[in-house]
Amino acid sequence: MTPVASPRGPLAGIRIVEFAGIGPTPMAGMLLADLGAEIVIIDRLEPSGLGIARAPRFDVTRRGRRSLALDLKRPDGVALALDLVTRADALIEGFRPGTMERLGLGPETCLAGNPKLVYGRVTGWGQDGPLAKAAGHDLNYIALAGALSAIGRQGEAPTIPLNLIGDYGGGAMLLAFGLVCALLEARGSGRGQIVDAAMVEGTATLMASLYGLAAAGLHQPERGTNLLDSGAPHYETYRCADGEWITIAPIEPKFRQVLLQRIGFAPEDFPDMADTAAWPAARKLLAERFAERSREEWRARLEGSDACFAPVLSLAEAPLHPHAQARGMFVTLAGVVQPAPAPRFSRTPAAIPTPAEEPGASGRAALADWGVSPDEISQLEGAGVIRAAANIPTPVP
């Protein structure tokens, strides 16, 4: 059994029931657990077949929580879940609309048993609307919100930005933010509520500034022609002599001056990058200059200055950078390098998370800590309603 760290962080004392899912659901759970919330994940008895199968220790967004493998198709399994919900401050789930209701665990039922409960839900399209019950993934949600159309180079197809925008920025973080807001409100009102986080709406929220720029005529519809979308030569990636890449982003004139001076150009003789007509000439000069030296040589000249510079680092390189090491940006859990909890808190710092555990690994201990009697736990286990990790098939990489 993986030990659970002592409660620390600003959310210490908050108890949450998390119904296992993929994408934004476990990420939201990780964010909350990293900052001290005590979370029990309710897992299936059999693998769901959703997401990317891998051994538990590589499933980083499940870290910091205990797992209870529970049969929600049986009435006594649903009853146990409802019992835990009555003891919780919040619940998070990411099923299609109507799924929790069909299980007998919908908001109306849960809030009847626990009126102060914050019921957090995250879906792609939201709980209602024409697309609410359709399947989808991050790419679909960011496409509909207008984000995907704006990402990419001129004349090329939209660039797929991993699943960072819909699943995580527009989904997990929006859910975690909404959940904490509702928990704060419940402390005063004594009443819980439903938090409906839709990835398509979260993505639209992330695009707020861009919608404003477009309305003002400061962002053109054609991607790759604007300041922040690879159109500008001074907000761009460049290849170095060793084939590695660097980034520059001196948007402000004073920072452009620093960059140009440090790479050997006289700013007064360089094409005016405030003029879009000069962008092609400026880009050519910068590309030629950066191709003359290696990435490490440019780091020596530019890193730490006001040139707005950073090397493009791989997943293996990023944790080794001196700034990352000085800040403790990464931790290693069960041999897996992963981001450390963030943000930082001066008085209630987060603990180092515990590694993600196998489904059902500490279900008995979690139930005992949440006040379920030993006799009831033994009865449920004997009836196959809950199951230990040793009896649950575990996916391998």
Question: Where in the sequence numbering do the catalytic residues fall?
Answer: 137, 167
**Helix axis angle, 199-206 to 173-189, nearest 10°:** 100
DSSP assignment letter at 169:
I
- Between CA 329 and CA 30 the distance in angstroms is 16
Cis bond upstream, residue 343 (ω within 30): yes
- Contact present, 355 and 2 (Cβ < 8 Å): yes
Q: How far is CA 57 from CA 50, 64, 84, 262, in A?
A: 17, 11, 26, 45
DSSP assignment letter at 270:
S
Other Cβ atoms closer than 10 A to 201: 18
- Between CA 99 and CA 50 the distance in angstroms is 15
In 3D space, the residue among 128, 101, 80, 113 whose CA is nearest the CA of residue 192 turns out to be 113
Residues paired with residue 336 on neighbouring β-strands, in sequence order: 333
Decide: residue 226, CB within 10 A, 0-12 exposed, 13-18 middle, 19+ buried: buried
- H or E element in which residue 109 lies: helix 107-113
Phi, psi dihedral angles at 236 (to 5 degrees): -155, 165
